[in-house]
Structure 1
Amino acid sequence: MKSTTAGLALFAATVTALGLTACGSDNNTGGSAAGTAGGASTSAECAGKNTLTAEGSTAQQNAIAVFNQAWVKQCAGKNLSYNPTGSGAGREQFIAGHVDFAGSDSPLSDAQVTTAAERCHGNPAWHLPLVFGPVSMAYHLNGVEHLVLNGDVLARIFSGAITSWDDPALVALNPGVELPALAITPIYRSDSSGTTDNFQKYLSAAAPHAWTKGEGSEFQGGVGEGAQKSAGVAQAVQSTPGAIGYVEKGFADKAELPSAMLDSGAGVVAATDESAGVAIQAAGFVAEDSNDMRLDLRSLYGTKQAAAYPLVLVTYEIVCSKGYEPDTSAAVKSFLKTASTTGQDGLAAAGYVRLPEQLKRRLSAAIDAIQ
């Protein structure tokens, strides 16, 4: 896993360098230099300190790079230094006050809600859903270009009940496909991961009778081989014949791994931006009248809507609602505004889904309310 660690370190350095190469001013208010060289329409859009820090989800690291490029272009001299250490580490670093916000594929736990409020000087932390994308079931089967799975089969694979690719349940889903008599090697995230949490929540919603292992950021299946971070899962699947792993589609595509299609009962659907977007429309909020925008994912993962790919990753930026220093809150709002508007333009090429307009309007109001 040394190469994976080195790659993540290089990514963090590259994101920092992106911002630093655009620096033309050390003016923390993002004044006229930002308005001219950076293309910002008003200095208020580029207010606050020049450098923000964030840590967490590896699933959103490529989206964060896109957002940072947009922010650099919009506001000369600005930069986000993002450390992709995993959702669990990101939440911990945010609560400890070591970073300005966290990127996380899972919301704060009940205990963390309390400690996060302490970090925010007595104010609640908010979950702002900024990045969506299909989670690929990437696999390594030579000669098998098209593979169909469903929630029940995936639950049994990742709990050890199905162990060979020629299992009758797989054969029934793939008529006419020559599946080999090859052992299945499930690949899971060995680090604390919001992608794992999302995957296990999907299994619980889509196959409640087959998946009884539970949920959470730690893999509960008890079988397979673990790999660190999203890049590590893709690398492990790539190097292991018979392997299958859950990983964000952008990482699967970069590794040139095929992605299985899912059949939720309304037909076979491939993992695409469009099919993930259809599924996102089914998601509701835990609290409808709140700027804390945690999503109720069971409605999404359990959907049987035609043309919907339900295994979708939802990742949050976890921020203080109040309690920042003024120059920090202004910069956080500036970055998030850019990410939710012009930053959306480059997401498709990075393997993510643009924000639906209805969600974007609600997100904009929440960002405006940060203090």
Structure 2
Amino acid sequence: MPKPRPARTLALVAAAALALSACGSDYPLGDAQREAAENSTSTLSGILSGSGSSAQGPAMDAWIAGFGILHPKVQLQYSPDGSGAGRSALLAGAVDFAGSDAYLQEEEMDRAREVCGPGGALDIPAYISPIAVAFNLPGIDSLNMDAATIAGIFRGDIDSWNDPAIAAQNPGIALPDLPVTPVSRADDSGTTENFTEYLHEAAPDAWQDSPSGTWPGGLGGENAQGNAGVVSTVTRTEGAVTYADDSVIDDSMGTVNLLVGEEYVPISADGASIAVAQASRVPDRGPHDIALHLDRTTTVPGAYPLVLVSYQIYCSGYEDPNTVDLVKTFGLYVVSDEGQAASEDAAKSAPIPATLAQQARESIESISTLP
């Protein structure tokens, strides 16, 4: 049987609700939500809480706004604390769902059965986005690099921007004699896990560390909290370079074109979609779990394999029937055409392929009330 939600969490949720009330508004999204509430026929109500991926943050803001218009009596709360923190919160029974840039591992699946019942938890693809390798070199908008060069930069083996390994792939570009400052994530991050998985699979000789959400110890450079933190560090540090969800990268930073096959592919939502189309389901999972294995070594033209598939992780069952209604209605909105369009507009994400979206809908529909 699932464990009851901790009293501390209930207190935090209640405090959040009281804070909204204290601000004098039942409509935290403003006049649009108030008008929608006055005209809405939706009877759905309650509090739905989530935590996790900061990469999903811009998309989640759009989903909360869109869902709030459709169901104005629902209070939807999401804290972008990082993928690892989100998974931990779900497995502690502290939130109703988690956002994560990495699917649950086997040991986490075992823990999920203690909280979510015998069916455990479900990894549902919700957000597809390329990960940018972004740098601060005034006057340079893009650079070509293979995976081994990127690995060398983040290991500290390549410590100057005019290093021959970079120069050979960028003829005609005046590279500065400037120190390279790699910036990594300080928190347990699905973005880090996807980035290190790409390096490990695409350049195994240069990056021998196993993929992990935690940055390898002993490497130089700087670190910062969340996607926003690493980007902020790079924008104020000439010569710095980081990896981050493309949604937080603006024109003030340059980005790396990845060598795929014999071509250098620029970062794009289309390139991410092409790469995800080559993915396969992770074997030996439940029928409604959609954990995906991405082919980081694909040579399909136009594919950008440094991509993350960010999941929303739900329990397969909840004790409260109203929570089941809230979770299913929100989950179906996220993977709908409307929800994916809202994410694309807000976060430069790639729409979930049609076949994958249908599988996601079927999985969400399977969520039920525990006996």
TM-score (norm 2): 0.87
Aligned to 1:37: 39
1:323 to 304, 318, 337: 318
Matched, 1:305 2:300: yes
Aligned to 1:6: none
Aligned to 2:181: 185
Aligned to 2:291: 294
Aligned length, in residue pairs: 342
Identify if the C-alpha distance between structure 1 residues 19 and 333 changes in structure 2 by more than 3 Å, giving closer, same or farther: farther
Q: CA deviation at 1:277?
A: 1.2
Aligned to 2:75: 79
Matched, 1:357 2:359: no
Q: CA deviation at 1:79?
A: 3.1
Q: What are the Cα deviations for residues 88-117 of structure 1, in whole angstroms up to 9, with x where unaligned? A: 111111111111001011122322211111
Matched position secondary structure for 1:181: coil
Matched, 1:234 2:231: yes
Distance 1:73 1:184 in 2: 46
Distance 2:89 2:109 in 1: 14
Q: CA deviation at 1:213?
A: 1.9
Is the contact between residue 279 and residue 308 of structure 1 (CA under 8 Å) also seen in structure 2? yes
Aligned to 1:366: 363
Distance 2:268 2:103 in 1: 25
Is the contact between residue 27 and residue 33 of structure 2 (CA under 8 Å) also seen in structure 1? no
Q: CA deviation at 1:305?
A: 1.2
Distance 1:236 1:21 in 2: 36
Q: What are the Cα deviations for residues 207-230 of structure 1, in whole angstroms up to 9, with x where unaligned? A: 111111221110116121101111
Aligned to 1:4: none
2:240 to 223, 237, 243: 243
What are the within-5 Å matches in structure 2 for residues 45-64 of structure 1? 47=44, 49-64=45-60
Identify if the C-alpha distance between structure 1 residues 324 and 132 changes in structure 2 by more than 3 Å, giving closer, same or farther: farther
Aligned to 1:93: 89
Is the contact between residue 105 and residue 195 of structure 1 (CA under 8 Å) also seen in structure 2? yes
Matched position secondary structure for 1:63: helix
Is the contact between residue 130 and residue 307 of structure 2 (CA under 8 Å) also seen in structure 1? yes
AA partner of residue 213 (structure 1): D
Aligned to 1:333: 328
Is the contact between residue 134 and residue 273 of structure 1 (CA under 8 Å) also seen in structure 2? yes
Matched, 1:155 2:157: no
Q: What are the Cα deviations for residues 207-264 of structure 1, in whole angstroms up to 9, with x where unaligned? A: 11111122111011612110111100110110111111000111112x7322221112
Is the contact between residue 27 and residue 72 of structure 2 (CA under 8 Å) also seen in structure 1? no
Distance 1:261 1:19 in 2: 38
Q: CA deviation at 1:121?
A: 2.7
Aligned to 1:3: none
Q: CA RMSD in A?
A: 2.3
1:128 to 124, 128, 131: 124
Distance 2:73 2:262 in 1: 50
Is the contact between residue 123 and residue 311 of structure 2 (CA under 8 Å) also seen in structure 1? yes
Is the contact between residue 266 and residue 306 of structure 1 (CA under 8 Å) also seen in structure 2? no
Q: What are the Cα deviations for residues 162-193 of structure 1, in whole angstroms up to 9, with x where unaligned? A: 11111111011101111111111111001111
Distance 2:88 2:350 in 1: 27
Q: What are the Cα deviations for residues 300-326 of structure 1, in whole angstroms up to 9, with x where unaligned? A: x22111111111111111111123411
Distance 1:89 1:181 in 2: 39
TM-score (norm 1): 0.87
Q: CA deviation at 1:273?
A: 1.1
Identity of aligned residues (%): 36
Distance 1:270 1:330 in 2: 41
Q: CA deviation at 1:23?
A: 6.0
Q: Which runs of 5+ in 1 are unaligned?
A: 1-12, 26-32
Is the contact between residue 141 and residue 241 of structure 1 (CA under 8 Å) also seen in structure 2? yes
Q: CA deviation at 1:123?
A: 2.7
Aligned to 1:140: 136
AA partner of residue 365 (structure 1): E
Is the contact between residue 23 and residue 77 of structure 1 (CA under 8 Å) also seen in structure 2? no
Moved more, 354-363 or 102-111: 102-111
Aligned to 2:263: 267
Distance 1:278 1:79 in 2: 36
AA partner of residue 229 (structure 1): G
Is the contact between residue 23 and residue 78 of structure 1 (CA under 8 Å) also seen in structure 2? no
Matched, 1:206 2:208: no
Identify if the C-alpha distance between structure 1 residues 153 and 186 changes in structure 2 by more than 3 Å, giving closer, same or farther: same
Aligned to 1:119: 115
Q: CA deviation at 1:360?
A: 0.5
Identify if the C-alpha distance between structure 1 residues 18 and 303 changes in structure 2 by more than 3 Å, giving closer, same or farther: farther
Identify if the C-alpha distance between structure 1 residues 324 and 224 changes in structure 2 by more than 3 Å, giving closer, same or farther: farther
